[in-house]
Amino acid sequence: MNNPFNPSFGRIPAVFLHRGQLIDDVVNEINNPNSPYKISIVYGMRGVGKTTFLTEVGKRVEKNPDWIVVDLAMGSNLMAALVDSLYMKAGNELQKIFESIKGLNFSAFGLQLSAEISQPTFSTYQGILTNMFDKLRKKGIKVLITLDEVKSNRELKDFAGYYQLLNRKDYPVALMMTGLPENISELQNEDVMTFLLRGKRIALSALNLAQIEVSYNNVFKQSGFQVTEDILSKMALMTMGYSYAFQLLGYLVWNSAKKNKIIDQNLLDKIKPEYLVELDQNAYTKIFSSLSKQDKKFVLAMAQSSEQRVSIKEIRERLNRPSNFVANYRRRLLDDQIIKSTNYGEVAFTLPFFKEYVLQQHRFEQGL
Ligand SMILES: Nc1ncnc2c1ncn2[C@@H]1O[C@H](COP(=O)(O)OP(=O)(O)O)[C@@H](O)[C@H]1O
Ligand SMILES: [Mg+2]
């Protein structure tokens, strides 16, 4: 049997864990035309499962024949891509209707504009789209636009302006975006884009540890691996509920145990170095480099504690800064989901072995 775990980004994995009712609730909300979820933003650090979540919601919404789901990606002309994807996703009957729009020509290669409008501008696309959305509305078809990894740029600004217009005129078009916390907060600086921020925020939290344990148990036992309960809980703890870590650990354990079919402490010790290297290379390096200088100092002060749960008092003393300064950085890092609050006046890292990563990074910098 092939390894069922898949530690690559942006794909719905074969071993998929549900976050309670979250997907059901969100899908129901999207179906309700007056829901605040008409615009929503899924946010969280790299690897928490934003793209996977967005894809899963899209798949579920699409099951309803009254809906068309179009997936847009940043880095292309969003308006043109929207025209194209709407056409591609529409059924035969609708495609015919779209083809009747003047000046438009669709082919197997996508949209082609007729000669008179060979230099399409923003308003060209705006006209075409509004025409298409009118036709969709008449047919009772609703649209969900998904937009993965938003970033504040010209392209998004234009798109946001147009989407705002659609929304004001009550077209049944929902928008679900994902973004890294730092990119989402940048949207605040641009007038048009603050409109997007009025949407519902969906924070993806850690996967449930008990669920992870049960899932590892099922997958490994069903495939004839020997593993004790004790080892299964250790594995769950090693992931701390981080989605990427869940896939990665499962993947490494499977590969390393597939011959002997025995998963024990020895095996966990053996794969741990590789586990850490992959976490660092594929996630932590990017996450850490997005932090500001002060964030990094806070995080280092935390990592230098002998405790896993660190009191704010201890961090303040180590940084030797006033409490409002420390409180401000604590808030920022909580928002970015780098740390979590464990008790009153106490914080801990969210990601597994992040403390070790920060200390190692510090040693390297000291060595330079
Ligand atoms: N609900 C889930 N259950 C199990 N694995 C998941 C889940 N969500 C995401 N993953 C896994 O976590 C990794 C990161 O997911 P991805 O959606 O690419 O994260 P992001 O877009 O937040 O960076 C992938 O390997 C994916 O398969
Ligand atoms: Mg992603």
For ligand 1, atom 8, the nearest C-alpha belongs to: 49
Q: What is the pLDDT of residues 13-70, one digit of tens each?
A: 999 999 889 999 999 999 988 888 999 999 999 999 999 999 999 999 999 999 999 9
- Whether 13 is covered by a domain: the verdict is no
Q: What is the pLDDT of residues 246-267, one digit of tens each?
A: 999 999 999 999 999 999 999 9
- Ion ligand 2 neighbours (CB, 5 A) are 50-51
Total domains in the chain come to 3
Distance CA(134)–CA(158), nearest Å, equals: 20
Judgement on whether residues 125 and 170 belong to the same structural domain of the protein: yes
Judgement on whether residues 73 and 190 belong to the same structural domain of the protein: yes
Phi and psi at 73, nearest 5°, equal -125, 145
Judgement on whether residues 305 and 280 belong to the same structural domain of the protein: no
Mean of per-residue pLDDT scores for the chain: 92
Judgement on whether residues 65 and 144 belong to the same structural domain of the protein: yes
Q: Which residues have a Cβ under 8 Å from the Cβ of 235 and sit 6 or more positions away?
A: 212, 213, 216, 249, 253, 268
Judgement on whether residues 172 and 38 belong to the same structural domain of the protein: yes
Q: Which residues have a Cβ under 8 Å from the Cβ of 129 and sit 6 or more positions away?
A: 79, 82, 83, 86, 162
The CATH number given to whatever domain includes residue 197 is 3.40.50.300
148 close to 51: Cβ distance less than 8 angstroms:
yes
For ligand 1, atom 16, the nearest C-alpha belongs to: 49
Residue among 212, 243, 286 whose CB has most ligand 1 atoms within 8 A, to mutate: 243
Residue among 23, 52, 59, 282 whose CB has most ligand 1 atoms within 8 A, to mutate: 52
Give me ligand 2 centre to Cα 359, in Å: 27
- Whether 2 is covered by a domain: the verdict is no
The CATH number given to whatever domain includes residue 309 is 1.10.10.10
Give me ligand 1 centre to Cα 183, in Å: 19
Ligand nearest to the CA of 42: 1
Element (H, E) at 364: helix 354-367
Give me ligand 2 centre to Cα 44, in Å: 10
Instruction: Please tell me if the CB atom of residue 10 comes closer than 6 angstroms to any atom of ligand 1.
Output: yes
Judgement on whether residues 74 and 185 belong to the same structural domain of the protein: yes
* Domain endpoint, select from 234, 263, 288: 288
pLDDT above 70: percentage of residues in the chain: 96
Q: Which residue has the tokens 């979820």?
A: 37
Record the tokens describing residue 31, joined without a space: 């179906």
Judgement on whether residues 104 and 232 belong to the same structural domain of the protein: no
- Whether 51 is covered by a domain: the verdict is yes
CA distances from 299 to 66, 183, 282, 288, 365 (A): 48, 20, 20, 10, 15
Give me ligand 1 centre to Cα 282, in Å: 13
Judgement on whether residues 175 and 218 belong to the same structural domain of the protein: no
267 close to 256: Cβ distance less than 8 angstroms:
yes
Judgement on whether residues 63 and 156 belong to the same structural domain of the protein: yes
- Whether 188 is covered by a domain: the verdict is yes
Q: What is the pLDDT of residues 94-150, one digit of tens each?
A: 988 888 887 677 766 666 665 555 677 888 889 999 999 999 999 999 999 999 999
Buried b (16+ CB within 10 A) or exposed e, 188-223: eebebbebbeebeebebebbbbebbbebbbebbeee
Burial of residue 137, with CB atoms counted within 10 A of its CB: 0-12 exposed, 13-18 middle, 19 or more buried: middle
For ligand 1, atom 15, the nearest C-alpha belongs to: 49
Q: What is the pLDDT of residues 345-364, one digit of tens each?
A: 999 999 999 999 999 999 99
- Whether 8 is covered by a domain: the verdict is no
Instruction: Please tell me if the CB atom of residue 8 comes closer than 6 angstroms to any atom of ligand 1.
Output: yes
Burial of residue 289, with CB atoms counted within 10 A of its CB: 0-12 exposed, 13-18 middle, 19 or more buried: exposed
Torsion of CA 353, 359, 362, 366, to 10 degrees: -140
- Whether 168 is covered by a domain: the verdict is yes
For ligand 1, atom 13, the nearest C-alpha belongs to: 244
- Whether 136 is covered by a domain: the verdict is yes
Ligand 1, residue 12: give the atom nearest the CA. 27
Instruction: Please tell me if the CB atom of residue 47 comes closer than 6 angstroms to any atom of ligand 1.
Output: yes
Distance CA(323)–CA(292), nearest Å, equals: 19
Judgement on whether residues 263 and 318 belong to the same structural domain of the protein: no
Residue among 247, 252, 282 whose CB has most ligand 1 atoms within 8 A, to mutate: 247
Domain residues for 352?
A: 293-367
